[in-house]
Amino acid sequence: LASGSDLTAVSDAVRRRNPRGQGQRLREELLQAARDLVTESGDPQALSLGAAAKRVGIAAPSAYRHFPDARHLKIAVVRACFADLAHARSVAAEGLTDPGAALLARAHAYCRFALANPGLYQLMFGPDPQLPHELVYESGDSPGRAAFHDLAESIRTCQDTGVARITSDPLVLAATVWSLEHGMVSLRINRPHFPWPDLDSTLTEALTRLLDLQPPPPPHGQLHR
């Protein structure tokens, strides 16, 4: 009722209704609000249609103009997160020629993403019957499944170039590597007060042993351990 200038950054005081064709804009705002709710609370449960609507400054039923139901809002959030994670993983390996170094870089990027976005990570990888199969690793062309095969390929490359001297099936190894990454981050997320050892060095050492990785031809002589 009282004119508040603290709600919207740009517009004057009251929320300006979106012009004709731009219902899209509110959709984006809802999506972002939902992400922020989870990010800020660190709790996947914090994602709800009503809370997102409230945060954007509209009444809850208005959200139904943009999402058929609450489930689809969640799906949209998770889909965006998978895209972000894939991006972070590929950016991390950019310019790295040694396949072992690239593999390690992607693994660290995965963990960094998880620890930086614990709530969203739990949303992506937690159990959730609401999320459709094609999104979360269940079906063949899901973004998560693509990342998994990417990891397996990356391991195969290491094997082919002699960087990884282990000879097991790369798909089986990929499952183990992914399990290790997931276990490390999800335990750290779930038990924040436990005296965890440094993740970076622990992960590097574990992957090196698991895959029998050879250090790259040292440019300067910088080695682990």
The binding site for its own copies (CB under 8 A) comprises 43, 122, 125-127, 133, 136-138, 145, 166, 168-169, 171-172, 175-176, 178-184, 186-187, 189-191, 193-194, 196-197, 202, 205-206, 209-210, 212
Minimum CB separation from DNA for residue 30, in Å? Answer: 9
Q: Pick the closer one to its own copies by CB: 18 or 45.
A: 45
Query: Rounded to whole angstroms, how far apart are CA atoms 116 and 17?
Result: 34
Binding-site partner at residue 157 among DNA, its own copies, none, CB < 5 to 8 Å by type: none
Name which of residues 49 to 68 contact DNA (CB under 7 A). 49-51, 57-62, 64-65
DSSP assignment of 101-139, as one string? Answer: HHHHHHHHHHHHHHHH-HHHHHHHHS--TTS-TTTTTSS
Query: Rounded to whole angstroms, how far apart are CA atoms 116 and 141?
Result: 26
Binding-site partner at residue 221 among its own copies, DNA, none, CB < 5 to 8 Å by type: none
The answer for residues whose C-beta is within 8 angstroms of residue 131's C-beta and 6 or more apart is: 74, 75, 78
Residue 161 DSSP SS3: coil
Q: Judged by CB under 7 A, does residue 13 bind DNA? A: no
Minimum CB separation from its own copies for residue 201, in Å? Answer: 9
